[in-house]
Structure 1
Amino acid sequence: MVGKLDSDDLANFVLSRTGAPDEDVLMGPKYGEDAAAIRFGDRILIASSDPLSLARERLGTLAVHVACNDVAACGGDPRWLTNVVFLPNDDPETLDVLTGQIDAEADSLGVAIVGGHSEYAPALERPMVSMTALGVADEYVPTAGADPGDRVLLTKGAGVEGTAILATDFREDLDLPAAALERAEGFFGDISVVPESAVLRERATAMHDPTEGGVLNGLVELAVASGVRIDVERSSVPVREETAAACEAMGVDPLRIFGSGALLAAVPGGEIDDALGDLRDAGIEASEIGVVTETDDPGVDLDGEVVREGVRDDLYALWE
Structure 2
Amino acid sequence: MTGKLDPSALAALIGATGADDPAVLQGAAYGEDAAAIDLGAGDDRILVVSTDPLSLAAEAVGRLAVHVACNDVAASGADPRWLTNTVLLPDDDPEPRRTVAEQVDETARAVGVAVVGGHTEVVPSLERPLLSMTALGTTDRFLPSGGVEPGDRLLLTKGAGIEATAILATDFREACLDDGVDAATLEAAAAFLDDVSVIDDARAIRDLATALHDPTEGGVLTGLVEMASASELAFEVARERVPVRPETRACCAALGIDPLATFGSGALLAAIPESRVDDALAALSDIGIDGAVIGEAIRPDGVDAGDTDATHAAGTVHLDGEPITEPPRDELYPFWE
TM range (shorter): over 0.9
TM-score, scaled relative to structure 2: 0.94
Which residues of 2 match residues 224-235 of structure 1 at below 5 A?
224-235=229-240
Structure 1, residues 134-162: CA drift from partner, whole Å, max 9, x if none?
00001100100111100000000000000
Cα root mean square deviation, aligned = 0.7
Shift of 1:9: 1.1
Report deviation, 1:179. 1.1
Q: Which runs of 4+ in 1 moved over 4 A?
A: none
CA distance in 1, matches of 2:297, 2:27: 25
The answer for the alignment partner of 1:250 in structure 2 is 255
The CA deviation at 1:286 is 0.5
Q: What does 1:182-197 align with in structure 2 at a 5 Å threshold?
A: 182-197=187-202
Residue in structure 1 matched with residue 226 of structure 2 by the alignment: 221
User: How far apart, in 2, do the equivalents of 1:147 and 1:26 lie?
Assistant: 19
Q: What do residues 149-204 of structure 1 show as CA deviations (whole Å, max 9, x unaligned)?
A: 00000000000000000001100101222111110000000000000101111011
Q: Tell me by how many angstroms 1:269 deviates.
A: 1.0
The aligned residue for residue 326 of structure 2 is 309
Report what 1:259 is aligned to.
264
Q: Distance in 2 between matches of 1:223 and 1:123?
A: 38
Task: State the shift of 1:58 in Å.
Answer: 0.2
Gaps of 5+ in 1: none
Deviations 1:15-74, CA, capped at 9 Å, x for gaps: 211000111111000111111100122310000000011000100000000000000000
- Provide Cα deviations, 1:205-241, integer angstroms capped at 9, x if missing partner: 1100000000010011001110111111100000000
Deviations 1:82-101 (A, max 9, x none): 00000111111101000100
Which residue in the other structure is 1:170 paired with?
A: 172
CA–CA separation in structure 2 for the residues paired with 1:252 and 1:36 = 32
Partner AA of 1:30 in structure 2 = A
The question of 1:202 aligning with 2:207 is answered yes
Q: Does 1:236 align with 2:241?
A: yes
TM-score normalized by structure 1?
0.99
User: Aligned partners of 2:294 and 2:33: how far apart in 1?
Assistant: 22
For these two proteins, the number of residue pairs brought into alignment is: 319
Q: Does 1:69 align with 2:74?
A: no
Q: Please tell me whether residue 47 in structure 1 is matched to residue 31 in structure 2.
A: no
Unpaired runs of at least 5, structure 2: 303-312
Deviation at 1:307, TM superposition (A): 0.7
Task: Tell me the percent identity.
Answer: 58
* CA distance in structure 2 between the partners assigned to 1:311 and 1:139 by the alignment: 31
Alignment equivalent of 1:142, drawn from 126, 141, 144? 144
**Aligned counterpart, 1:124:** 126
- 1:94 paired residue among 93, 96, 107: 96
Partner of 2:305: none
